[in-house]
Amino acid sequence: MTVKLTYAQIRAFNAVARDGSFQKAAESLGVTQPAITLQVRSLEDLYSVVLFMRTKGGAKLTKLGLDLFQITQSIHILETEVDELLSRQSEVLDGSIRLAAGSPQLIMALIKKYKDKYPNVKLSLELGNYEEVSAALFQNRVDVALLDGPIDNERFYSHFYLQQELVLVVSNTHPFAKKQKLRADDLITQTILVRGDGSYTQKTMDEWFSRARIFPTSTLQLSSRDAIIEAAANGMGVGFVFDKEVGSDPRIRKVALSGRTTRCNESLVCLKSQFRRNTIKALYNLIPK
């Protein structure tokens, strides 16, 4: 059986001819240098010719190699044209994305920006605490989630979205409303509004008290962030939330906390296998750099 040259051999040859280096050619094609070397060498062996003079500084075309490059370089132009055509066809035109987040305040601006640019893509939003949102992502019930805290799972692709800071929310008539900053021991006599539902907010609040060796004795457990804000607005106690999730309720005030930083990074997270989808890549591209 007659052995014929392959497109991979010509593509590797063209890359080395253009870049003047086997290493640079490998980088431009996204393969290893040995793979490029193997393709070029197999092409030379196939016809018992020398196409490059190898030097320490790279690779220089022989006379025959230069003649071949004059013929084959049009293949690169064809590749570019094909890529541009298919890229246009694979633009985000329709589809769907299932989103999940701990609160609508953080992600709604991104959703609006996406819908303005890609109106034919269907979006849905599921709300829940940290454990619920991460479980939905693991179980593939949602495609993309906004998660707080460190993301260290190898299955996830994550991108920094924004940073928040833990604050105390109190009624605008509460004595604390006029304070610039509060220590943990300032809250000893207060009723603390708590979530107790596995939320990252609750964990961060517990760590803040623990560092100060303060353990609240009067608490009121509520099921959601909105319930804590509503209870604080009605003077039922003081609660902890991250600052960008408070909204603009005129009945409450946000007060900063003293001590070690209580900031939290929010990341947009998806399974690595999902990131190949154009609809999802487009969502990540809208995050401010």
- Alpha-helical segments (H) within the chain: 7-19, 22-29, 33-47, 63-89, 104-117, 130-138, 200-211, 225-233, 278-285
The predicted pLDDT at position 114 comes to 95
Check pLDDT > 60 for residue 242: yes
The predicted pLDDT at position 1 comes to 52
Architecture of domain 7-89: Orthogonal Bundle (1.10)
Using CB atoms within 10 Å of the CB of residue 59, give its burial: 0 to 12 exposed, 13 to 18 middle, 19+ buried.
buried
pLDDT tens column, 158-179: 999 988 889 999 999 999 999 9
Q: How many helices (H) and strands (E) does the chain have?
A: 9, 12
Residue that the structure tokens 């870049």 belong to: 19
Cα dihedral sign, 45-50-51-53:
positive
Asked if residue 187 lies in contact with residue 238, where contact means CB atoms within 8 angstroms, the answer is: yes
Q: Would the CATH topology of 95-161+265-285 be identical to that of 163-263? A: yes
Check pLDDT > 70 for residue 11: yes
Which CATH code is given to the segment(s) 163-263?
3.40.190.10
Q: Where are the domains of the chain?
A: 7-89, 95-161+265-285, 163-263
Query: Which superfamily is assigned to 95-161+265-285 in CATH?
Result: Periplasmic binding protein-like II (3.40.190.10)
pTM of the model: 0.58
Asked if residue 170 lies in contact with residue 236, where contact means CB atoms within 8 angstroms, the answer is: no
CA nearest neighbour of 233 among 251, 216, 219, 255: 251
Check pLDDT > 80 for residue 103: yes
